[in-house]
Amino acid sequence: MRFRILPQQIDNTYKGQKLALWLFGFVLLIKIVQSTVILINGGSVVKGADGIPLDTFSPDAAHTVVALFALTSLYRLIICLLGVIALVRYRGIITLMFAVLVIEYIVRQLILYFYPLGSIGAPPGPIVNFVLFLISVIGFALSLLNRRDIQD
């Protein structure tokens, strides 16, 4: 399994289930859209999707929160663009990229446990991200399975 996550040679050879590639592409597409929307219109996303009451903050504090969300979106966008490169040209690291997405979500949740965001209501953003996490876990598992293992 270690060689499936960290292959000896990085090329376009992919031995996992084809469905994992589709799941990976879907997760990347949604994350790219999320990140781009936050970079373009961060204030409304922070208020709507994440339920942060920006109106109760001072203008400087609200601007800082939106800037931090935009910076986070930038790093997520870079990870996703690396994922697109992997999907198009270096499929041998798809399992590694799934692992990166799964680990990123888990670590982000740990950080939010210790530093919770003050949100109001039940914003949809965390639910969407949890669903993407579950899809990533399923894709990770499928990417570890050889295609011939299923056929036997």
Delimit the domains of the chain by residue range.
Answer: 14-151
Q: Which of 121, 94, 126 is nearest to 5 (CA)?
A: 94
pLDDT in tens, the chain (152 residues): 555 788 888 899 999 999 999 999 999 999 999 999 999 999 999 998 888 999 999 999 999 999 999 999 999 999 999 999 999 999 999 999 999 999 999 999 999 999 988 878 788 989 999 999 999 999 999 999 987 654 54
Global confidence as pTM: 0.89
Burial 90-128 (b: 16+ CB within 10 A, else e): bbbbbbbbbbbbbeebeeeeeeeeeeeeebeeebebbee
**Would you state the torsion angle of the CA atoms of residues 21, 12, 7, 16, taken in this order, to the nearest 10 degrees?**
30
User: Would you state the structure tokens that stand for residue 40, as one six-digit string?
Assistant: 């373009």
Q: Give the pLDDT score at 152.
A: 45
